[in-house]
Amino acid sequence: MNRFHEWRGQRPFVGGLLLALGGAEILVTMKAPLPVILHIGMQGLAGYLIPGVMIVCGLLIMFNPAQRLFYSIIGVLLSVGTWLTSNIGGFLIGLVLGVTGSVLAFGWLPDQEPRKKRHQLRRHRDQASPAATP
Amino acid sequence: MASPADATASNDSTPVRPERRGRVRMRRAAVMAVPATALTAALMILTAEGALGVQFAISGMPFVVTADKLEGQGFAQYGSLDEMIPDSPNQGDTGGQVLVVTSVVKNGKLNNLCQSVDLGGIKLVLTAGGGSTPVSVKNLAIDSDEIKGDAAFNNIEIGRDSSTFDKVDQKGPKGVYGQQAEKVVITDLYQHNYAATAAVFKLPDLRMWFGDKGCPQ
């Protein structure tokens, strides 16, 4: 648990998770069968492709946080794009999740503990909340 | 591919302590949140404005509507495209799309309405409004590929962009030719239609039957 807590602190975990969940939610709302997709062509394929890339971007934000800016910008554009391609953004839920996740990932910065807190290292470990200090 | 530890490389070379955690900076997040929200809102508004009109898959079986007289308050017409379901048996060589002219009537009355559809050999015929009470419609939008009749318009505006209609509640797509009028009277109306929608469609003296003959032209 402690290692997971540590691992989460080194990446925009919540942002990536929300973006991936948003993509997954949109995929769940897509019900068109494959023959219909192929018949419609790129328009229909985009309905699946875009939420798929949203999931990939969300996972990459978590597992390759160094590139989080690029992934979050792609993520926010695709999330907005699902309004047109995939059931008005998975009936809005997936779109909101994706945009929120991308924004959180974009705004995330590593190593944000104020310097004065450094001498309280051990005490801080006892604090349960991960983002206690502003 | 960079390793996950690279996320902290921007700081300094000291080993990462678990206590120094990454965090979302609100101002930084707002840089993306504000334009993203604006973009989403703009998309929603545009969709809401353009989504009016016929939005269902048409069967591709045309039907004929005739009437002795159509009187309408608030009238508009513009070109649009109707789509059938994928692999519709009725698509022929059209690719499932039919070019139509959409006629919108805000408040209308029709005398002696007749509608017939050819079901392959036998026709389904519907008549209404033959008695003293005419058929009345509200916000009728009808997609036709052929219209005939003797028409008279009051205060007509021809060539107006169909997204700027103000005589009817519906708006067409942007940049499409349209025409609107305050009042329209069409006698001996004949329409070859693919779709029709209406908010209210009152049919007094309704009769429906199968017959060999469609509506008289």
pLDDT digits (tens, 9 = 90+) for B88-129: 777 777 777 788 888 889 899 999 889 888 887 788 888 888
- Residue A28's pLDDT is what? 87
**What is the tally of structural domains in chain B?**
1
Reply yes or no on whether the pLDDT at B21 is more than 90: no
Q: What is the distance in angstroms between the CA of the first residue and the CA of the last residue of chain A?
A: 24
**A111/B22 Cβ within 8 A:** yes
CB-CB under 8 Å, A10 with B21: yes
pLDDT computed for residue B203 by the predictor: 84
pLDDT at position B8 is 45
Nearest Cα of chain A lies from the Cα of B19 at a distance, in angstroms, of 7
User: How confident is the model over B62-89, as a mean pLDDT?
Assistant: 85
Q: Is the pLDDT of residue B35 over 90?
A: yes
Q: What is the mean pLDDT of chain B?
A: 80
Residues of A in contact with B31 (CB under 8 A): 106-107
Specify the pLDDT at position B6.
47
Per-residue pLDDT at B16 exceeds 50: no
pLDDT in tens, B180-191: 999 999 999 998
Is B52 a domain residue?
Answer: no
Residues of B in contact with A103 (CB under 8 A): 29, 32-33, 36
Spatial separation of the C-alpha atoms in residues B181 and B74, rounded to whole Å:
6
pLDDT band at A24 (very low <50, low <70, confident <90, very high): very high
What pLDDT sits at residue A57? 95
What are the φ/ψ torsions at residue B159 (nearest 5 degrees)?
Answer: 95, 5
Band (pLDDT 50/70/90 cuts) for residue B49 is: low
Report the 10 Å Cβ neighbour count for B48.
9
- Looking at residue B128, what is its pLDDT? 87
| Secondary structure (DSSP) of chain A | -HHHHHHHHTTTHHHHHHHHHHHHHHHHH----HHHHHHHTHHHHHHHHHHHHHHHHHHHHHH-GGGHHHHHHHHHHHHHHHHHHTHHHHHTHHHHHHHHHHHHHHHEES----GGGGGGHHHHHH---TT---
CB contact under 8 A, A9 and B21: yes
Give the confidence band of A45 by pLDDT, cuts at 50, 70, 90: confident
Residue B58 within any structural domain of the chain = no
Which candidate, B40, B36, B10, places its Cα nearest to that of A106?
B36
ipTM over the 0.95 cut-off? no
In the predicted structure, residue B15 carries a pLDDT above the cut 70: no
Rg (CA), chain B: 27
Do the chains contact at B33 and A103, CB–CB below 8 Å? yes
Residue B217 inside a domain? The answer is no
Helix A68-85 with A42-63: angle, nearest 10 deg? 150
Q: CA B156, CA B159: separation in Å to the nearest integer?
A: 10
Domain extent for B157: 63-211
Higher pLDDT, B203 or B56: B203
User: Which residues, at least 6 apart from B12, have a Cβ–Cβ distance to it below 8 Å?
Assistant: none
| Radius of gyration for the alpha carbons in chain A, expressed in angstroms and rounded | 18
| pLDDT higher than threshold 50 for residue B10 | no
Q: What is the pLDDT of residue B5?
A: 47
| Predicted structure pTM score | 0.47
**Residue B34 falls within a domain, yes or no?**
no
Name the residue among A64, A99, A110 with its Cβ closest to that of B36.
Answer: A99
